[in-house]
Amino acid sequence: MDTFRIAFELRPLAEIAPWGTRETGLSLSWFGLTDGWYDVVIAGHHLFRGEGGDPRGIDYQVVRLWEDLIDVAPAVIDEIPAALSMRLADVDRWNEWVARAWKLENADELLETALPWWGRRRLDTSHLRGAPHLFLWRHGQEIHMRWRSWPVPDPPPWCSPRGDATLELAAFTDELVRFDRALIEAMTARVDSIGRSWDRPEIAIDVDQLRREHEDRATWLSHSLRRPTTDSWDAVVEAVTKLEALVTPD
């Protein structure tokens, strides 16, 4: 079974660039204060490290990865039925079929039943140019992971533009919780430090709002992991089967 690790490092407070301008006002919020570096490492593959780039990963607000993982988590841990898992035996072929299906005319209702479940199992990386898109889905007690870089003109070189791995369900959820707690603890220290003293007075921070938002965000993952999914699998499988009769093969 493969390994899964989420790595991050926060930029020192004194080095974080504020949002806005001196004319409109400089400020920082909880989101901006997570500025730093992050990476996802699967079976030794660094998904968000560029060739010859920073070994810490992509230079971006860490909260973006945290939010995106929280968003996909309920769908990822919800097991898909065997009828769909069989179709994912060749994920590249499946994605090609999905792309052709979305182009069907006069089939909107069928498409909206058959296909959205798959999009909910993709970690969004559209904010990173040419970065691998990571699909995750559960079959039994295993999480399947598949990442591919989407072609763009002159894409930046990523260390691992494509790959496949399998992870134990418990290992996946344990790493999500570990990452969540590590980020929340790091931000607790950051919020407390700002509350005691803020030595960059030219940058506005609403400390009371910062504390309220921090307390709220500390609950996001636990709420997400308890959130039920809404897929009606019998209807999904039936709609996929009907679509297969309509989509012209290559």
- Per-residue DSSP letters for 81-149? PHHHHHHTTSHHHHHHHHHHHTT-SS-HHHHHHHSHHHHTTEE--TTSTTPEEEEEEEETTEEEEEEEE
* pLDDT (0 to 100) of residue 155: 58
What does DSSP say about strands 58-61 and 162-168: parallel, antiparallel, or unpaired? Answer: unpaired
Radius of gyration of the chain (CA): 21
pTM to 2 decimals? Answer: 0.93
Neighbours of 59 (CB within 10 A): 14
47-92 pLDDT, tens per residue? 998 877 789 999 999 999 999 999 999 999 999 999 999 999 999 9
Q: What is the pLDDT of residues 126-149, one digit of tens each?
A: 888 888 889 999 999 999 999 987
* pLDDT under 70: residue ranges of the chain: 150-156, 249-250
